[in-house]
Each structure stands twice: as structure tokens, then as C-alpha cells.
Structure 1
């Protein structure tokens, strides 16, 4: 099976390289296209054997399954370009959350899925969010599940939970990295510990924390209970975080949802026939 990727930017390129590094796909199994051809050529140079299509239409004509890894504002132009080449036996996977499956099924006669990846797939970890369309067969779902199981732990979600699931799986690596950066920077400011030491400490801590939660038998709650003895320093710190940081995440979720809803409206307006 030849798998195509329309768009080899940040996430499209990450998926291509992750599938290759996992051994699930060979470079020769993959055909790519990109609006800026130099980006596609750079990816192909790093992965000898990777095919580059001369156009999106050519890619569609030569693949049985292809990914749409383009920005929301680019979807109309791409769909206009490829819709005459798409046939009903193909599987098309969108990784763009504001683009609704119902709209893609209206535009294209093929089988549709929406699968939202995360930067964590670069190291074959984390969840990918699996939203099957109405035309996918059981075999199609199994095929896509097997593909993403090589680089992630797929999780089936309802489409109306796309935004909050993406916040937790796809956006939170950046959110948590920002919090760790601020923790390290505050340590430097308050104590003059070398910044390299502070950032190494929080980075290695995060690595160990992930293992404790995934391999060590801890839950989020039990880990806090284990570290924070009553009357201790950690307990006082957690009380401060509960008071000051907790409300920030409610505001954060409201912000991401407002932006998402705006993006959905803009995409639907652009796809209006």
C-alpha cells in the first residue's frame, strides 16, 4: 500500500518520519507533496526512497490512502484541486481538527477519517485521536488503527470532543513545557542556580514523571499523595498551586474552545459551495 501525505510541514513531516522510524512504513511506501517543493525535497533527502509527487492530483491518483496535513485556510484550494481524482475506495485522513467529517464526506466520495496526532508521536508515544467517518468499514478502521499503533496509542473519540481532547493530547506538550520553563527560570531568578542545571533538573524530572505515570503504577492523585507528606514543603507548594494555577487552566480551555469555534465557522464558510 502506498500512503500519501499532502502537506509536509511541522506535523505532516513528523508523521512521515515517525512512521519510517517505527519501521511501520518504508520510505518507498510513501508519496508526498507540498506547496513549497523545497520542503518536500528536504524531507526526501533525509529519507532516501521517499517519493515526491509533482502535484496533489498526481499523489491522489497513485495512493490508496492519503493524509491531508494542511492548514484550515488551505483546505478549499486543496479539495478543489483533488476532488475529481478521488474515488470511493480510497481512504482520506484529515489531521486538521476544525475541518468536520461531514463536510469532507460532502466534498469527497471516498472513506473519511479524522486522526489528530501529537508532537509526542515523534518518539512513538502519546495518544493519537481517532474519529472514524461513516463510510469506513471495519477493515478500514483496523488498517488505520494498526498504522497509528506503531507510533502512538490511538484513542477513539467523538468529534464534538475534538477540541478538548486535542488540548490534552496535542497542545499540552507545549503548555507543560512552558510551565517547566517558567519553573526553571524562577529557580534561576530566586536562587541564581545556573540555568543549564535548572533546565536539566526539570527536564529529567519530566522524563521520570512520565515513566512513573505510565510504567510505575502511579496515578496523578497517588503520586501527589506519595510525595506530599502532611505539613511538608511539597504539601504547601501544592496548596499554592491549587489556589493560583488551577483557575488558569479553566481560562485556557475556554480560550482554546473559543478559537476553535471561530476556526470551525471560517472553515465551513470557505467550504460552502
Structure 2
């Protein structure tokens, strides 16, 4: 399998490194390009056999799957770059949520998909959220998901839920890390415990909690019920959290959706000259 990556920024390089480290791809199967060629070349220099191309078309030509890992407002330009070399049997994958399947299908004569990765994929964990266009066949979906399964759990979703599942899967690690950081900071400030020690304990707790929710089969409510003895310390603290955070996550979701709709409108104008409200 030959796979191209257009864009070697934070998420593009993460995917490349995760696929190679997991054994899903060998460096000789990977072609890459970046707006700044030196960055692509620097990444390729780390992996013998990886091919850094001067152009996006060069990275896309002849590949079975091409991942488009560029920012929303750079998408139309990247698509224009590869349009002349794309063949009907190739699969082009956007990893950018405001770029709709219809945007790509309107420009490219090939099979189209959208995958929302997560930073957790770097450690071969978490989900990859998969959305498919009309021309892609079941065997194509299975091929792409087989690749993604080396670093994640591929989950098929409806495009109308792109933003909210991205909040949970892709943005979620940043949100949870922020809350954990606040917890650790407070522990250090209030008690004098060493930061490294507090972070080590809290990180192990977070990992264990995740395992309870997945392998352990518990729900968040069940974990709270089992930990919080009525009238006890945890129960009192949970009441404080409920009071202080009421409405916070609803506002968080409204914020991410507003930014998504802003980006979607800009991307739609770039592709079609018209805004798209929602999906």
C-alpha cells in the first residue's frame, strides 16, 4: 500500500509517525509534502525510504490513499494542486472537520472519506471517526479502517454529528487535560505536594478511570456512585463540582460549534462561492 500525506504539521506528522511506529506502514510506502518543503524533508530524513515531494501533486500521484492534513482555509488550494493527478480508484481522506464530503466530491473524481483523528492515536489508542462519500465501496472502507485500526478504534459516524464527536474524541483530550492540570495545580498550591508526584498520581488515576469506562464496563454515574459514599468526602466534593460547573460544558459545546460554523462558511465560500449553514 502506498499512502500520501499532504501537510506535515501537528496532526499530519502525528499520523505518519504513529502508522510507522505501529507497523501499519513502512517508510518506503509513504510520500509526503508540505507548504514548506524543508519541514517535509526534515521528517523524511528521520525515516529511511520515506519520500518528500516538492509538490502536493507529487505526493498524491500513484498513492492508494491520500490524507489531506491541512488547515481549513488551505484546503481548496491543496485540492486544486492534486486534482489533475487523482484517479478514480484512489481514496482521498480529509482530516479537517469543516471540510464537507460534498466539498471534495464536487472537486475530485475519486473516492472520498473524512477521518477525524485524535492525539490519542499517537499511543495507538482512542477513536478515529470515519465518514464516507457516496462513491466509496465497502471494501474501500474496510481497507481504510484496517489501516486506522493499527492506531485507533475506527468508528463510523454520520457527517451531521462531525462537530460534537470531534469535541468528544479530538478536542476532549485537551479539555480533560486542562481539568486535570487545574486539579494538580490546586493540590500543589493547597498542600505543598511536589508537582511531579501529584501529576504522576493524577495521570495514573485518569488512565485507570478510562479503563473502568471501557474494559470495566462502568458508566460515569456508576463510578461516581461507587466512589462517593453518602455523606462522605467525595460526595460533598461532587456537590461542589456540580454547583460550580453547571452549564459550563453546554457553553463549551456552543463555543466549538460557533467556531466550526464560522470555518465551514469560509471553506464553503472557497469551494462553491456560497455559505453553508450547518451540514
TM-score between the two structures when normalised by the length of structure 2: 0.94
Instruction: Report the counterpart of residue 111 of structure 1 in structure 2.
Output: 111
Counterparts of 1:84-163 in structure 2, within 5 Å, are 84-163=84-163
2:229 aligned with 1:197? no
CA distance in 1, matches of 2:15, 2:224: 34
CA distance in 1, matches of 2:191, 2:90: 59
CA distance in 1, matches of 2:137, 2:62: 21
Which blocks of at least 5 consecutive residues in structure 1 are unaligned? Answer: none
SS in 1 for 2:106: helix
Instruction: Report the counterpart of residue 59 of structure 2 in structure 1.
Output: 59
Instruction: Report the counterpart of residue 169 of structure 1 in structure 2.
Output: 169
1:219 Cα deviation after fit: 2.2
1:270 Cα deviation after fit: 1.2
CA distance in 2, matches of 1:42, 1:220: 43
Instruction: Report the counterpart of residue 237 of structure 1 in structure 2.
Output: 237
CA distance in 2, matches of 1:43, 1:206: 32
SS in 2 for 1:99: coil
1:152 Cα deviation after fit: 0.5
Instruction: Report the counterpart of residue 249 of structure 1 in structure 2.
Output: 249
Query: Residue deviations 1:129-179, cap 9 Å, x none?
Result: 000111101110110111111110111111110000000000010000000
Query: Residue deviations 1:211-233, cap 9 Å, x none?
Result: 22222332212111111111111
1:205 Cα deviation after fit: 1.3
> C-alpha root-mean-square deviation of aligned residues, in Å?
1.2
1:195 Cα deviation after fit: 2.0
Query: Residue deviations 1:158-205, cap 9 Å, x none?
Result: 111000000000001000000000111111222222222222221121
Counterparts of 1:26-41 in structure 2, within 5 Å, are 26-41=26-41
SS in 2 for 1:128: strand
CA distance in 1, matches of 2:260, 2:98: 7
1:78 Cα deviation after fit: 1.1
1:35 Cα deviation after fit: 1.0
Instruction: Report the counterpart of residue 223 of structure 2 in structure 1.
Output: 223
Query: Residue deviations 1:56-103, cap 9 Å, x none?
Result: 111222212111000001112112211111121111000000001001
Instruction: Report the counterpart of residue 50 of structure 2 in structure 1.
Output: 50
Instruction: Report the counterpart of residue 181 of structure 1 in structure 2.
Output: 181
CA distance in 2, matches of 1:144, 1:132: 11
Instruction: Report the counterpart of residue 259 of structure 2 in structure 1.
Output: 259
SS in 2 for 1:107: coil
CA distance in 2, matches of 1:21, 1:272: 39
CA distance in 2, matches of 1:214, 1:39: 38
